[in-house]
Structure 1
């Protein structure tokens, strides 16, 4: 059975995956004050980081429309698998679900499943890679959905950012003291729990926070040899390499992949941010 992958643009892809004809990326809209840009293949990360730094206005994003998702479902593939940002962090999931309903009503029956990643960035990519693994193995649609949802439910997402201000100002943090943490150079080690953001620990300075994050990921992982370690970085590849080496020195994964963050990841993780999923 042929299949298609539809992912929103917070799904950070490698250069190889960007060329895969089975994958269609649905762009979110990014905004800094009066400046608006699509998070697509033309996104210029360094220019965007510069604009964020120079603006007094907090950067934000807007999810794609249901019709944009519906159009992505209009294809010859037998099965369509969709991966979105956590429904607790964005309206992208709800748009994808509504787009599916409109498609089924207007066009007719089709195997379309929308996965709420309960994550972001490379977490979405991790879910997508599991879909590809199962679909390429020839599993039927229902079994792919079951296995991928089980994989997602046992996947952890961690991150350390230079600043939590953008997340806080956009209402993505609840009960976390972003301003105090930034002022004292305390870098919180955060993680996703049921799709929302919580703080696990902290370190004084970026390096100590990254070490704590690596230790946490290595301690909590189950069956790492069956999983993919994925790391999203925002303009800090060397930092991502350090995190990868720290984690791999403690546990062995099936594979380890580093990806550069696209526009949504850059908006919320910010320059120097690191996100890990496994």
Structure 2
């Protein structure tokens, strides 16, 4: 096997990857109150969203251990890559780096690189697709790392949330601000900085207006869109995701579209009805 890609479970898997030995998921664990839910193929989104809605506490996540990453890297592949959610949001990146260091102690010749996505969700998916594309061209390992790093630098991440409850519960939004925003049906348009932190770009009254404002930002900031893949993930709202996709495609060309339902960690961040777009 020429290469292997390890993706933490904040990144969604496209269907063909689920049976591909070159792709491996490193699962995070989600905790709601005292219940641990592993974010793997057994994840039940409907059950998780119900538990989150019922709980007064904020759901939490714990990243894969360094030993879990080390186990994933210990394979016959010539080139090994890991793709993790933003190091600003989780310890998954640091854990992946520690796992590499552990394996290199016994296999110093092994070629392993860890990509900090500076994004999440479908952003990680698109990075893994970029690695695949580079590997299909038989590029050298060092050249692939440089090209994928440049791709990550050029990515833009946007999202709109139906509910502000998770932000309120984890202390990112005051109870008063969350109450006022909910009462007035104000929906924030969010994005990610180049460093991978979350910022508010704009806001609108009502989810549909917020989504169209997000589309405006995407169109304005996607000058080279014809050469890029548009990634959209949604939390339990495929029809809404399709509306966003169609609105974008009416205004700019793209190379391809990936539309996926959120896995566990992304469902925790996006909450029921959330939309995440990466291009």
* TM-score normalised over the length of structure 2: 0.95
CA contact (8 A) 1:30 1:263 kept: yes
CA displacement at 1:236 relative to structure 2: 0.3
List per-residue Cα deviations over 1:230-272 (Å, max 9, x = no partner).
0000000000000000000000100011001000011111000
- Quick one: distance in 1 between partners of 2:173 and 2:132? 32
Say if 1:200 and 1:26 are closer, same or farther in 2 by CA, change over 3 A: same
Q: Which whole-Å CA distance do the structure 2 matches of 1:62 and 1:130 have between them?
A: 27
1:43 alignment partner in structure 2: 43
Matched, 1:257 2:258: yes
**Structure 1 equivalent of residue 236 of structure 2:** 235
Distance 1:106 1:180 in 2: 56
CA offsets 1:134-173 (integer angstroms, 9 cap, x no match): 1111110000000011011010000000123323533667
Match of 2:71 in 1: 71
Render the CA deviation track for 1:8-54: whole Å, top value 9, x for unaligned: 00001222222222100000000100111100000011111111112
Number of equivalent positions = 276
Take 1:98 and 1:130, find their aligned partners in 2: how far apart are those partners? 24
Aligned-partner Cα distance in 1 for 2:169–2:66: 26
Tell me the TM-score normalized by structure 1.
0.95
Alignment check: 8 A CA contact 1:158 1:191 kept: yes
Q: Which runs of 4+ in 1 moved over 6 A?
A: none
> Which residue matches 2:212?
211
- Quote the Cα distance in structure 2 between the aligned partners of 1:182 and 1:124: 30
What secondary structure is seen at the aligned counterpart in 2 of 1:201? strand
Distance in 1 of aligned mates of 2:182 and 2:126: 30
Distance 1:57 1:69, change over 3 A: same
Label 1:171 to 1:132 Cα distance change in 2 as closer, same or farther (>3 A). farther
Q: Is the CA contact 1:29–1:37 (under 8 Å) kept in the aligned structure 2? A: yes
1:112-261 equivalent positions in 2, closer than 5 A: 112-170=112-170, 178-193=178-193, 194-261=195-262
Secondary structure of the residue aligned to 1:24 is strand
Deviation at 1:225, TM superposition (A): 1.4
Distance in 1 between residues matched to 2:179 and 2:118, nearest whole Å: 26
Assess, with a 3 A threshold, how the Cα gap between structure 1 residues 224 and 90 changes in structure 2: closer, same or farther. same
Unmatched runs of 5 consecutive residues or more in structure 1: none
Paired residues of 1:229 and 1:257 also in contact (CA < 8 A): yes
Structure 2 residue ranges without an equivalent (≥5): none
- Paired with 2:62 and 2:173, the residues of 1 have a C-alpha distance of 18
Rounded Cα–Cα distance in structure 2 between residues aligned with 1:49 and 1:36: 14
For the residues of structure 2 that align with 1:4 and 1:218, how far apart are their CA atoms? Answer: 34
RMSD: 1.5
Given that 1:2 and 1:77 are in contact with CA atoms closer than 8 Å, whether structure 2 keeps it comes out as: yes
